[in-house]
Structure 1
Amino acid sequence: MSYQLMNRMFFEGQIPAMITFFNPNHVAHAGQLEMYRGELVPCFEVPSRADRVLAELEHRQLGSIQPASLIDGSLRSVLEKVHSSRYLQFLERAWGEWIKLAPENSERDALPSVWSVRGMRSDRLPSNFAARMGLFSFDMGTPLTAGTWQAAIGGAGCALSAANRLLAGERGTFALTRPPGHHAGADFFGGYCFINNAAVAAQVLLDGGMARVAILDIDYHHGNGTQAIFYRRSDVMFASIHGDPSSEYPFFLGYADETGEGDGVGYNHNLPLPKGSDFDVWGQALTEGLDSIFGFKPDGLVVSLGVDTFIDDPISGFRFLEEDYLAVGRQIANIGLPTVFVMEGGYALEAIGRNVANVLQGFDTGKSTV
């Protein structure tokens, strides 16, 4: 089936509503403490984030909810196109190594304490566990727990399944998982992220026959990992609307002058906005981002869906209201592309389910207005 025919069938109502792929293993990752603004505090990224979204989707009956299909060979193959082999091996074995250092470590999470910075080597893999933690991380806010690998690999399975169903003819799918992924690079974790699920979804779409894929990141925080993975590639365009990195995490990437390198020149579009921006300001940036995506002429779209743009989010700074997320979904639908949504941030627990569901409901409503 051609993508043109698939789009026409969708808008004529012949293709069913969005399918959500849920990662039940997300609960295995439940960090205790993170370093935030100079002190250890309880983690903001908690299991109830995904559970509240799931409950709201079930309440509204927004399409079917299915488990991810974990195809080990396929999943490992795409993971190694997105992340380095030594990084994946580290994540897979890290908890076991942490426990071997001291039995009492089973009662506390692992956090990095040293880093390889400018002027230091990163090509040599240290034998010391703390050194490897630092080599493969960029902050102290992302605890590695007993179930981190299990949860992260389950999330990658959700992204794989969501992308595969898009290739099979669905118009919209949603990978509902945590921990999030867009801060994870080819060989580093941070920002609560370990495996880059948006990058996995994009790579699956490319491997499945799409010539070009766009990624739209609407999380409050810049998707530095996603940008880094695709920065020198011309088959993936990355567009991100986020808080100005001069004052907002992750600070060291996300400026407007970062437009790509080598084959990727012109395929990276950052739209940083001042802290305190409301939906009217943000909506103008979304129009600009979608215009650039439309000009790229992709076959499919991956959306890094963060709802930490909400006015009451405890660690962010935009001023969205709940109803604004309906408009976000409609605008994304109006670009007319097969779309995978991948869950990212959002830490206002009381509203997270409604905000995510509003985006997806807006997308389903918007499909009929094109």
Structure 2
Amino acid sequence: MISFFDDRQLAHAPLQELHNGGWENYQETAARATDISARLTGMRPSRDFGSDPILAVHSADYIDFLSTAFEQWRDAGRSGDAIGYTFPVVGRRPLNLTRIDARLGAYSFDAATPIASHSWDAAYWSAQTALSALDHVVKNAAPSAFALCRPPGHHAGADYMGGYCYLNNAAIAARQAHKAGLGPVAILDIDYHHGNGTQDIFYDDPEIFFASIHADPVSDYPFYWGHQDETGEGDGIGANCNIPLPRGTDYTQYQRALATALEAITKWGAKFLILSFGADTYAGDPISEFRMQTGDFPRMAQQISALSLPTVILMEGGYAVDALGENVSAFLSGFDHGI
């Protein structure tokens, strides 16, 4: 399978995150991408498709903030990474905020997503990597392509960051696929954590179907999104499908949930698939609680590829770095075999 990546994605390097009441080393490290890329063949450099596809999903105000936040943080005399500490739980609305502390809170929902010196460049090229994979599938009538997106994207909303995510790569690719007339377009999210940003972006949109299989948010991040009764609103009612699963889920249980999600995508009439793939369903992942084994990933991929839809696969989570490359490679090989 052809894969895409840009080395500028490695420069994003926050030092720490706030987790469970204390500071911990930042989990979403560059080693994730280097371990994956070392296992893959057919890797190609990403192309630059500019800002328009990003602005088709994210607000201009948010992009202005994201691209200047670290500079503003340093201009305020701060050291270290830029990170918010005050968040507008209610009454969130556009305000003319000038202090960087306020802007960080206004455009984020957690304290686990710092902005470091090269975060914007890495996020920008992560989005371009997703667009490069999409372009390859479209122009070459290829059955699939893999985008090694780092940082990941599915927790980022139209105007907020969180969960290690700054730009929503899946939403950007899906919007471009729809604009190119490739629809109906579906997004399937199989990361351990619910893709709340993707859901938010398309929640009232009847053109993009979103299905997510994830840890039950009653017990797991992001807590406030991903419940089964969230099915869309307005014109988007029925275009959102959440399948939360309990901690300890193994592949025997997972494959039934996956069959349900794939049936929903088929019934919706999808012609093109964006796949948000997280390898954090692996039993050895340090921040997740599913029980998938390396040998389960090819079977998962074969089950998805049986849809026979053109598919762009985007990397989301996965933090067992020593096993990450093997798990991703196993998934991609299974996807190729299934096609």
Equivalent position SS for 2:145 = strand
User: C-alpha separation between the residues in 2 aligned to 1:334 and 1:125?
Assistant: 50
2:36 corresponds to which residue?
A: 53
User: C-alpha separation between the residues in 1 aligned to 2:114 and 2:99?
Assistant: 18
In structure 1, stretches of 5+ residues that fail to align are: 1-17, 59-63
1:78 corresponds to which residue?
A: 53
User: C-alpha separation between the residues in 1 aligned to 2:131 and 2:157?
Assistant: 18
Post-superposition CA distance 1:167-224 (Å, at most 9, x none): 1111101110211000000000000000000111111111211131000000000000
2:27 corresponds to which residue?
A: 44
Q: Is the 8 A contact 2:210 2:241 kept in 1?
A: yes
Q: CA deviation at 1:125?
A: 3.0
Post-superposition CA distance 1:137-173 (Å, at most 9, x none): 0000111100000000000101111111121111101
1:240 corresponds to which residue?
A: 212
Equivalent position SS for 1:308 = helix
Q: Which runs of 4+ in 1 moved over 6 A?
A: none
Query: Residues 162, 113 of structure 1: CA spacing in aligned structure 2 closer, same or farther, 3 A cutoff?
Result: same
Q: Is the 8 A contact 1:167 1:208 kept in 2?
A: no
Q: Is the 8 A contact 2:213 2:258 kept in 1?
A: yes
Q: Is the 8 A contact 1:164 1:204 kept in 2?
A: no
Post-superposition CA distance 1:25-45 (Å, at most 9, x none): 111101100011010000111
Q: CA deviation at 1:20?
A: 0.5
Q: Is the 8 A contact 1:181 1:193 kept in 2?
A: yes
1:93 corresponds to which residue?
A: 68
Post-superposition CA distance 1:225-259 (Å, at most 9, x none): 00000011111100000000001000000001000
Identity %: 44
User: C-alpha separation between the residues in 1 aligned to 2:48 and 2:38?
Assistant: 23
1:6 corresponds to which residue?
A: none
Q: CA deviation at 1:96?
A: 1.0
2:246 corresponds to which residue?
A: 274
1:356 corresponds to which residue?
A: 328
Query: Residues 121, 290 of structure 1: CA spacing in aligned structure 2 closer, same or farther, 3 A cutoff?
Result: closer
Q: CA deviation at 1:338?
A: 0.2
User: C-alpha separation between the residues in 1 aligned to 2:158 and 2:48?
Assistant: 21
User: C-alpha separation between the residues in 1 aligned to 2:153 and 2:297?
Assistant: 21
Q: Pairwise mapping of residues 122-201 of structure 1 onto structure 2 (< 5 A)?
A: 122-168=93-139, 169-201=141-173
Q: Is the 8 A contact 2:18 2:24 kept in 1?
A: yes
User: C-alpha separation between the residues in 2 aligned to 1:263 and 1:81?
Assistant: 19
2:3 corresponds to which residue?
A: 20
User: C-alpha separation between the residues in 2 aligned to 1:273 and 1:125?
Assistant: 41
Q: Is the 8 A contact 1:185 1:229 kept in 2?
A: yes
C-alpha RMSD over aligned residues? 0.9
Moved more, 204-213 or 250-259: 204-213
User: C-alpha separation between the residues in 1 aligned to 2:250 and 2:179?
Assistant: 38
1:90 partner amino acid: F
Q: Is the 8 A contact 1:55 1:353 kept in 2?
A: yes
User: C-alpha separation between the residues in 2 aligned to 1:236 and 1:302?
Assistant: 10
User: C-alpha separation between the residues in 2 aligned to 1:125 and 1:116?
Assistant: 14
Equivalent position SS for 2:257 = helix
TM-score, normalising length: structure 2 = 0.98
Q: Is the 8 A contact 1:35 1:140 kept in 2?
A: yes
The structure with more radius of gyration: 1
User: C-alpha separation between the residues in 2 aligned to 1:267 and 1:327?
Assistant: 26
Q: Is the 8 A contact 1:21 1:161 kept in 2?
A: yes
Q: Is the 8 A contact 1:173 1:341 kept in 2?
A: yes
Q: Pairwise mapping of residues 107-118 of structure 1 onto structure 2 (< 5 A)?
A: 108-118=80-90
Q: Does 1:366 align with 2:320?
A: no
TM-score, normalising length: structure 1 = 0.90
